[in-house]
Structure 1
């Protein structure tokens, strides 16, 4: 579906937060800026290293710079009409609500389950749309959460973090899918992956969709979680405190 002039107007008025300016964040930031999203917030506390550049393509020539600031430089060169908010720090229980509340849609591109749970929980509390993506080796996944079910319905607690290397093209492919989800949500064009997750293996070029069931006992999208509390984001990130 082509969204036309009205879709472009919606994009120009939209405010999107991208958390993580790495392998996933690079294509997300690039294509949201190219699409003409009015305001993009970029959160990342890391600095650019040589080993990042095989997948974090927006940081070319910016070794040693903070990634959020480097990404903002890229956006200004690509589309100077886009307003950029730079957050050169990591998302934490102390700052997540303050940052997320300023935006319409959140694209989660972090490299840890802790950060994904933080973003999910903040988005559910603030009633923001959370577009999730993750990659590992040749594989990746994308989903959109707007309420029930939420990311914790899909993964209630943190599994062990994977140490597998990420192919640059994998991050690029799934970052593009994530950017497309954000654009669909803003413009009302197409059918977002609400309540569904698409997973793919680029080594085999196989893709399939999972329907994510609502969990009746989910403490987050049920509305029982009333705030962001440090104890919910340690160890396996099980919800221990509701209010």
Structure 2
């Protein structure tokens, strides 16, 4: 493929990095990332770099100038659907990944259909009401699947206040759980990225059979 390493070469390198057993488990996972803003776009790229077997990325919005201070998009992506722009970036990192997109607004009526074939769902919305809707709907329809969500990552407060917590069976929450945009004058790439890394790492741990206590 235009001088790129082959699929087998990429996979073998990751096996050397992660061990074959771990890479095989990552490669069988199916993860949905819902909301492709500062959290979701960063989470999706992190999961792509470890070669999670299938990434299902979901958002209805287009890239605009206000997104570029914290989201994984480029000036050239302005006006494009986030799903399409992010898929292009992911495949530029690893063209052998399986990336499924749904350019749609998630609501109570389509949650059950959207996620039936995903193992783990990652909530990455900016809007608190949308976060609550997704978590509550997901727990209702899929009590045996795992969901990782976020709350509190605005501003430039201490990195050390962001944590990962097990809220209930199969439900994990990342962030400081208190700092919203109204308290911290908006969202900035570094702290949003720390929270995104917590979510991505928790997803990897769940794939590999680890849990928070």
TM-score (norm 1): 0.68
Q: 2:201 pairs with 155, 165, 180, which one?
A: 180
Partner Cα distance (2:163, 2:107) in 1: 24
Aligned alpha-carbon RMSD (Å): 2.4
Aligned counterpart, 1:138: 156
SS in 1 for 2:198: helix
Partner Cα distance (1:148, 1:183) in 2: 14
TM-score (norm 2): 0.77
Q: 1:44 pairs with 55, 59, 82, which one?
A: 59
Partner Cα distance (1:131, 1:101) in 2: 16
Partner Cα distance (1:149, 1:85) in 2: 24
The answer on 1:193 being equivalent to 2:212 is yes
How far 1:119 moved relative to its partner? 2.3
Q: 2:97 pairs with 58, 61, 82, which one?
A: 82
Summarize the alignment of residues 62-81 of structure 1 with structure 2, pairs less than 5 Å apart: 62-81=77-96
- Structure 1 gaps of 5+ residues are 195-243
Task: Give deviations 1:189-230, integer Å, cap 9, x for gaps.
Answer: xx5335xxxxxxxxxxxxxxxxxxxxxxxxxxxxxxxxxxxx
Partner Cα distance (1:42, 1:129) in 2: 16
Partner Cα distance (2:128, 2:136) in 1: 12
Aligned counterpart, 1:128: 145
Partner Cα distance (1:28, 1:20) in 2: 10
SS in 2 for 1:101: coil
